[in-house]
Every structure is written in C-alpha cells, then in structure tokens.
Amino acid sequence: MSLLELNDATIKFGGLTAVNSVSFALKKGDLFGLIGPNGAGKTTCFNIITGVYKPTSGEILFEDRPITGTPPNKIAKLGIARTFQNIRLFKSLSVLENVVVGGFLRHHTGLFSALAYLPPAIAETNRLKEEAMELLRVVDLEHVANVRSADLSYGMQRRLEIARAMATQPKLLLLDEPAAGMNPMEKEELNRMVRKIRDEHNMTVLLIEHDMRFVMSLCERIVVLDHGEEIAQGPPAEIRNDPKVIAAYLGEAV
C-alpha cells in the first residue's frame, strides 16, 4: 500500500498550468526527492498535497484515503507535516516554545482547562515540553532551548522548523529546501539527521532541494519536474544520467 499517491494532479492559475498531470507514489519509509529548475512546480506540488491549493483535476490519496482539497489543518491531523521554503518560525518565542506549539496539534485538554491552568492542562503542557526537548536533541538544538528563535543562525532555524513539524507526530514529513543557506558541514549533518528521522522516528520523507549532491546522497528515489510536468522518475543513478534531466536542469552529470 502506498502512503501517498498523486494521480494526474493538475493545477491551473488562469491560463497558466503550474502542475500538469503529475503522478508519483510514496511507500512508508521512503526518502523521496522532488527536484527541478526554478518554476518547475515543486512547491506547488507541496501546496496541493497539504491543502493550500485544490487541484484543478486529478486525485491525491493518503493511506488510500482521498484528501484532494482537504483543508490544511485537517491534512496536518491526518499525519502530514511540512516545512517552508521561507522559514516561518514564531520569532519572539524561544526555541523550545516553537516546538511545543507544534505539539499543540495533539492537545487533548479543553479550552476551559487550558485557560484556567487546571491540573490536566498543566500535565499535558509538561508532557509536550518533555517531548519537545527530545526533538531538540534529534536536531542538535537542546543547548539553545531557551534562546529566542530569531537569534538563531539560519541553519539552526532550518533545523528548528523540522523539529516543530516533527512535534505534530506526522507519518509523512515534507521538507521544502531544508539545506538552503547551510554550509557543507551543516549539510552533512542534515543528511545524517534526516536519515535518523526516517529510521528512528518512522517518518516517510519527501523533500525539495536544489543542492543536487545533497539530494543524490540522501534520496532513494527522485521525481524530476520541468515546467510543471514530470520528465523522469527513478533512483539517483538513473536520474543523474538521464539526458532529459541533464538538459532541463543539471547541465552536466553529477
């Protein structure tokens, strides 16, 4: 059974076709890459998967359940979380508080209990803080847990956004250019971290990334888009040598 399927997903904005009949499937445990030149439709695919946009035609399935056009908040509760190309943290909150906010998606206490700070709400908040600290250890940010997120380096903010997405306990984690702005050492650590997230936290990962060496060393399967259309799909060894991919995006074999 596929965890996620896109079947002929198409979205048009007026006369512009941003994504045209794109189809691919992810199985549980996949490390899957979505690549292509600027304007290829990669982030638009993320947006239709997460309910930001409703496809003009086609179908999206999650665990064999149709989710086409489902609102983003319901998509998140089903088990799909994402990061963004442009970092979207709560800049005035601490690193720990940002991750706790992600965990509140799973908050079970009622509004009155939370506002009155009754024992059930206190206990759940403490539990969320403990879980958040564990996630900060995963992304190597536990030492800055009480630092304001706006004061972190760019690479640290990227890792924090991943931890916050993980706090929703997703089955599928979508990473939009997670290595952007990172130096080579940070990218190597990110590579190890994403593998650890997949292997130890049972999350399937779909990522967009422009750094081809990073993608080729991390992802086990890759889909390539160009002008909104799929031009190739397969393992890295096939993708790096595909003439259509080289012509459209890579320019030369990686």
pTM for this predicted structure: 0.88
How far, rounded to the nearest angstrom, does the alpha carbon of residue 106 sit from its chain's CA centroid?
Answer: 18
pLDDT of residue 123: 75
- What are the residue boundaries of the structural domains of the chain, listed by start? 1-79+170-254, 89-168
Low-confidence ranges of the chain (pLDDT < 50): 110-112, 114-116, 253-254
pLDDT of residue 115: 42
pLDDT of residue 103: 82
Does the structural domain 1-79+170-254 have CATH classification 3.40.50.300?
A: yes
DSSP string, the chain: -EEEEEEEEEEEETTEEEEEEEEEEEETT-EEEEE-STTSSHHHHHHHHTTSS--SEEEEEETTEE-TT--HHHHHHHTEEE--SS----TTSBHHHHHHHHHGGG--S-HHHHHHT-HHHHHHHHHHHHHHHHHHHHTT-GGGTTSBGGGS-HHHHHHHHHHHHHTT--SEEEEESTTTT--HHHHHHHHHHHHHHHHHH--EEEEE-S-HHHHHHH-SEEEEEETTEEEEEE-HHHHHT-HHHIIIIISS--
